[in-house]
Amino acid sequence: MMSIAIVDYGMGNVRSVQKAIEHVAPNDQVFLTDNAKLISEADRVVFPGQGAMGACMQALNEHGLVDVIKQAAHEKPFLGICLGLQLLFDHSQENGGTDGLSIIPGDVVKFDKSELKIPHMGWNTVKQEIDHPLWHNIDDNARFYSVHSYYVKEADHSVVVGSTDYGIDFTCA
């Protein structure tokens, strides 16, 4: 049995993430936590996020989770969802400019509202860029729901496992 920690730093819809993971991994121990020791001891870590990057970084610092998230991202299977993915990068334009966790090189930028409707909201296909365990039992070009105004710009292609086209191609996994 695997243990899967879902990082709960007081922001986002973590219960829906917990229920989804329990559904696909019914034999594993899935738990929400803001405890750094439990996160470091987990076999896998899920890092969801919802809201503004500045507030999320502040919450991570207040909960003392920055170092354990950086360590987990380098040492074990780690999944950043939504803002949890964006927080892994160096910097975001959001909130007048916010530094991320700098786990993955790259920047998070706002969609150009003169060319695109923002927030980007609705169902979009995700192109699987590489064969990866994340895609187990998921078809290429499967549809996922998105609500966001910022995207990862020019991520290192060696770490990109999925992309979406919304007027431009951007990293989504």
pLDDT score for 156: 78
In this structure, the number of other CB atoms found within 10 A of the CB of residue 119 comes to: 13
pLDDT, mean over the chain? 94
Report CA 146 to chain centroid distance, whole Å: 12
Q: Which domains does the chain have, with CATH numbers?
A: 1-88 (3.40.50.880), 89-94+105-172 (3.40.50.880)
In the chain, what percentage of residues exceed pLDDT 70? 100
Tens-place pLDDT, residues 21-30: 999 999 999 9
CA distance linking residue 22 with residue 16, whole number of Å = 10
pLDDT score for 82: 92
Which residue, 115, 114, 136, 125, is CA-closest to 165? 125
- Identity of the residue numbered 62: E
Tens-place pLDDT, residues 72-120: 999 999 999 999 999 999 999 999 999 999 999 999 999 998 889 999 9
Q: Which two tokens stand for residue 100?
A: 């991320």
CA distance linking residue 40 with residue 79, whole number of Å = 14
More confident residue, 157 or 47: 47
pLDDT score for 20: 95
Cβ atoms of residues 2 and 43 within 8 Å: yes
Cβ atoms of residues 77 and 44 within 8 Å: yes
In the chain, what percentage of residues exceed pLDDT 90? 84
Which residue, 108, 107, 50, 45, is CA-closest to 79? 45
pLDDT (mean) for 124-147:
94
E strand or H helix at 24: helix 14-24
